[in-house]
Amino acid sequence: MTRILQIRRGTAAQNDNFTGLNGEITMDTTNKTIRIHDGETLGGIKLARKDEIPSSESSFDINSVPASFWTTLFTTYQTGNLNTEESALFSIYSDNFFDYQTQLNTLPKFSEAVLVCQSADAGYSENEEVRIFGIGDYLNPGVHTYIKNDSLFLRLFIANKPFWVFHKTSALKTNIDSAKWKIKFIVYY
């Protein structure tokens, strides 16, 4: 015989006046929804039914955002002058990591590694830059920065894993031909 699990249930009014235990689930029989309880919130947290979630077909028009929003945003978070330093292009090879030493002696505001296509591969053309890529199981591996002997170093760990990109037209994860790509570092300070 199969076993049946029946959760606590009640009307919307009953649920609104109930504080369930942490992790308890109740059913709102009026609205045909589920509520999750945390042991503190009166009425619990209501979960939406699929038909209550806005359609993914609805669109957002960035042009509808008023100019005052952008002015406030950029005024609030303005970083001032932002300088950059780019490394030369490095060949991609199997190793544990890439290192790049700069002449800077302070930590940057931001740093990144960028793949640069040298000849057509994975839907990309020569000189196209790809900022979102992966190494092995990792998407967009971070560049580690450190200062040693008054120089800023950037290090990208590879652990002898293959590089990959999202194919430009199909968006499928595609291992790259390392002979057709190079890598560079960019430091923003």
Q: Using a pLDDT cut of 90, give the percent of the chain over it.
A: 64
Instruction: Tell whether the model's pLDDT for residue 58 goes beyond 90.
Output: no
Number of independent structural domains in the chain = 2
Q: What is the pLDDT of residues 114-148, one digit of tens each?
A: 999 999 999 999 999 999 999 999 998 999 999 99
Residue 79 resides in a domain: no
Mean pLDDT of the region 87-114:
90
- Both 100 and 175 in one domain: the answer is yes
Q: Are residues 128 and 37 in the same domain?
A: no
What is residue 166's predicted lDDT score, i.e. its pLDDT? 95
**Per-residue confidence band for 86, with pLDDT thresholds at 50, 70 and 90:** very high
- Please tell me whether residues 91 and 171 are part of one structural domain: yes
Q: Does residue 167 carry a pLDDT above 70?
A: yes
Chain-centroid distance of CA 163 in Å reads: 18
pLDDT number for residue 161: 93
Regarding whether 170 and 99 lie in a shared domain, the answer is yes
Mean local confidence (pLDDT), 73-78: 77
pLDDT tens digits, residue range 22-48? Answer: 999 999 999 999 999 999 999 999 998
Does 81 or 35 have the greater pLDDT score?
A: 35
pTM of the model: 0.59
Residue ranges in the chain assigned as alpha helix (H): 12-16, 67-77
Domain containing 15 equals 8-50
Assess whether 43 and 92 both reside in one domain. no
44 and 116 inside one domain: no
Average pLDDT over residues 1-30: 91
| Domain CATH for 32 | 2.10.10.30
CATH number, domain with residue 116: 2.60.40
With a CB cutoff of 8 Å and minimum separation 6, the contacts of 34 are 25, 26, 27, 28, 46, 47
What band does 154 get if pLDDT is binned at 50, 70 and 90?
Answer: very high
Dihedral sign, CA of 169, 175, 180, 181? Answer: positive
56 lies in some domain:
no
- For residue 72, being part of any structural domain is answered with no
Quick one: 158 and 104 in the same domain? yes
- Establish if 2 belongs to a structural domain: no
**What radius of gyration do the chain's Cα atoms show?**
26
